[in-house]
Structure 1
Amino acid sequence: MRQVYAVRCPSYDQARQQMERLLSLCGGMAQFAQPGEDIVVKVNLLRPAPPEKAVSTHPAVAGAVSALIAAQGARAVLCDSPGSGYPYTESTLRSLYRQCGMEEAAERSGASLNFDLSSREVALPQGRLIRRAEVISPVLDADGVINVCKLKTHVFMGMTGAVKNHFGIIPGLGKVGFHAKLRDRELFARMLLDLCGFVSARLHVMDAVVAMEGDGPGESGRPRPVGWLLASEDAVALDYVACRMIGQEDSPVLRAAESFWGFDPLKVELVGASMEELFVPNFLLPCRREGMLGKATGLGAPVQRLLASALSSAPRIDHRRCVGCGICERSCPQGAISLAGGRAAVDRSRCIRCYCCHELCPQAAVLLRHEK
């Protein structure tokens, strides 16, 4: 069985106490960190945003995990590479850590903040889809990784959780290339699972104290108090439980895990709570519309792609909010966005509906609509 553990955590003020309870269900932090080891705490730091926005892993959760690592005599390193619209530079990381609350979390827990900007191309010998990738060096050099993700909706992938958080091991703007090559959600999911399998994190922890609902995972989503902390040694099992919590039935990650990695949802065991207790009623899912129409009707891949393009929401720019920062332009894998007169403009004929622009815009100026 693949165990997923859950404990209630009504507020972040209780994060340290409840994290200790959660880890005790998992067998204690001694199972995942040994004295003298360097442990990367792989948080979700999509972009610079205050913790109350629910855009990133909350610093109280990251700090609680880091403090438990330090208590084992190991060294915790808070680490992530931000979204593709942000260059992977020291100044970007400093802004990210400061605004997301990770500076304070590191100070309180004794963790360090990663400023190693190097990366290396590595082989992924167990990869089902990709066999090589450029990966940030701190993850490669660590003795172990603990993945501390955030429960959020995701317009492109449905939900971002334990598996999706591994995309952050790709340095900065390097993420753009994956979106350009893997436009189909099913292929993108297989890539994420390959990265997840390569990292082989010792433990996956999910911050579901305050989740994000609606058109996440960025500024257009909205915080939703949920009140749980979850953990598992299996990222896919954790995501399976999270999807059931929020009523997300359309998960390309779970489909790919069943098809290519042998995942069996019947072998997931929930410990510490029932699924009925975890379920969040009326959780607002993202607006993506094409769903599984092509697959449900048995149509071929070309027709499925046409249907996806015709039925999905296309981005448009709200010029009242746009400040011309250029983040959307840098993040677009197709070069479909340009700046004209200090404002962004989208060439919809080139748009592949990856929604990176919507995900990363700090002004919520990229809107989604059903294109008729």
Structure 2
Amino acid sequence: MTDLVVRPCPDYSTEGAYKALEEVLKPLGGLDWVTKGMKVAIKANLVGPFKPESAAVTHPALLAALTKLLRQKGAIVTVGDSPGGIYNKVYLDRVYAASGMKAVEAAGGSLNNDFSTAQADFPEAKVLKHFEYTAWLNKADAIIDFCKLKVHGMMGMSAAVKNLFGAIPGTVKLEYHYKYPDYNDFANMLVDLNEYFKPRLSIADAVVTMEGNGPTAGTPRHMGVLLASNSPYKLDLGCAALINLDRSKIPYMEAAYQRGLMPSDCSQLNIDGDLKTYVAKDFKNVAVRRDIALLLGDNVFTRILSKTAGALLRSTPMLDKGLCVGCAACAGLCPAKAITMINKKAVIDRKSCITCFCCQEFCPKGAMKVHRPLAAKLIGRL
């Protein structure tokens, strides 16, 4: 049984994207599970009103190609996401326009225009036992998680598992950052979302990825590959290997591993394709604090130890004053209200900061950077 498929996709040309998607899905049985009239939700990464060339969003050429393949099977296709910001038609229309989503409509799909929310009870969850989510996903018979491979300031990597955080409505995400400031809890919250929604298929757009100051202000990097799996966790193992990032340095992957949801590394996967060909050993990742509770087990002692060591070892957001234009977007979005504007520059109250990196993710100028403290640099690979 194939766990992970890797196929080349050199560019986003219409024909190339279609053929590459066909090829990456074949070893998984293609889309033979799709029946006529089935409602399929494609959960894309549409983090904000970013152009496709920014490498911040799932590319429209790939979403259009998948829509076309699904329509050929008779499926009713809806593409959507809940980006950071207000979850309403006005803002989503901006996001759809900027990210090129007209291509999806041209391929016969629809863009989500249902902005209602629903409540979920999930007693089996580790942390997220009750939550609010975007109701459009309720209408789907199957969910396809089509993520964009990027660096992420808080979680280290944004791929399939992290992409389902987009099931949480707009500004409610900020509440969750404040509710789960502990990386262990936040990581398990992401895993809980994946266990609740259970995407039928997960695909990663790694044709052009984002390195450096991701997930929105980093540098596009061409890698020319697509990955697919029936498991978001196994897909993310492949994505992590691709950008030369160890599983243990990605909090949500460590959480999934501790819960027995994924193997320790790619050597335990049945991979169809040559993943090693595409590995970028010089990929510019960010250093993420790994909670001791994730590494040594979650108990009172490890949580106390984690908080004590955290002040010395955790990465923090740091302002590049030369890039800051004083727009105050960071101050408005900060869930902990730890940012104030002084002389038109953002000032962070370090005692209040919960290092969620929302400011870094949503700064329109990329002025917030991920800063790694000297102690962590000296220790090396913590």
| TM-score, scaled relative to structure 1 | 0.92
The aligned counterpart of 2:169 is 171
Inter-partner Cα distance in structure 2 for 1:263 and 1:371: 31
Equivalent residues, number: 365
Inter-partner Cα distance in structure 1 for 2:169 and 2:372: 32
The aligned counterpart of 1:41 is 42
Three-state SS of the structure 2 residue aligned to 1:52 is: helix
Q: Greater relative contact order: 1 or 2 (C-alpha under 8 angstroms, separation 6 or more)?
A: 1
Inter-partner Cα distance in structure 2 for 1:191 and 1:131: 9
1:117-156 mapped onto 2 (5 Å cutoff): 117-156=115-154
Inter-partner Cα distance in structure 2 for 1:216 and 1:292: 21
The aligned counterpart of 1:207 is 205
Inter-partner Cα distance in structure 1 for 2:372 and 2:191: 30
Cα pair 1:77 1:111 within 8 Å, conserved: yes
1:98-247 mapped onto 2 (5 Å cutoff): 98-103=97-102, 105-219=103-217, 221-247=218-244
The aligned counterpart of 1:16 is 18
Cα 1:15–1:182 shift into 2, 3 Å: same
Inter-partner Cα distance in structure 2 for 1:297 and 1:124: 26
User: Aligned letter for 1:101?
Assistant: G
Inter-partner Cα distance in structure 1 for 2:316 and 2:189: 24
Three-state SS of the structure 1 residue aligned to 2:43 is: strand
Cα 1:292–1:127 shift into 2, 3 Å: closer
The aligned counterpart of 1:269 is 270
Greater shift in the superposed pair: 253-262 or 349-358: 253-262
Q: Which runs of 5+ in 2 are unaligned?
A: 375-382
User: Aligned letter for 2:90?
Assistant: S
Q: Which runs of 5+ in 1 are unaligned?
A: none
Cα 1:294–1:82 shift into 2, 3 Å: closer
Shift, 1:293, TM fit:
7.2
Inter-partner Cα distance in structure 1 for 2:233 and 2:295: 24
Inter-partner Cα distance in structure 2 for 1:234 and 1:297: 25
Greater shift in the superposed pair: 124-133 or 68-77: 124-133
Inter-partner Cα distance in structure 1 for 2:196 and 2:295: 32
Cα 1:2–1:129 shift into 2, 3 Å: farther
Three-state SS of the structure 2 residue aligned to 1:77 is: strand
User: Aligned letter for 2:38?
Assistant: E
Post-superposition CA distance 1:58-77 (Å, at most 9, x none): 11111111111111111111
Cα pair 1:38 1:75 within 8 Å, conserved: yes
Three-state SS of the structure 1 residue aligned to 2:175 is: helix
Shift, 1:358, TM fit:
0.2
Inter-partner Cα distance in structure 1 for 2:236 and 2:330: 28
| CA RMSD, Structure 1 to Structure 2 (Å) | 2.1
The aligned counterpart of 2:73 is 72
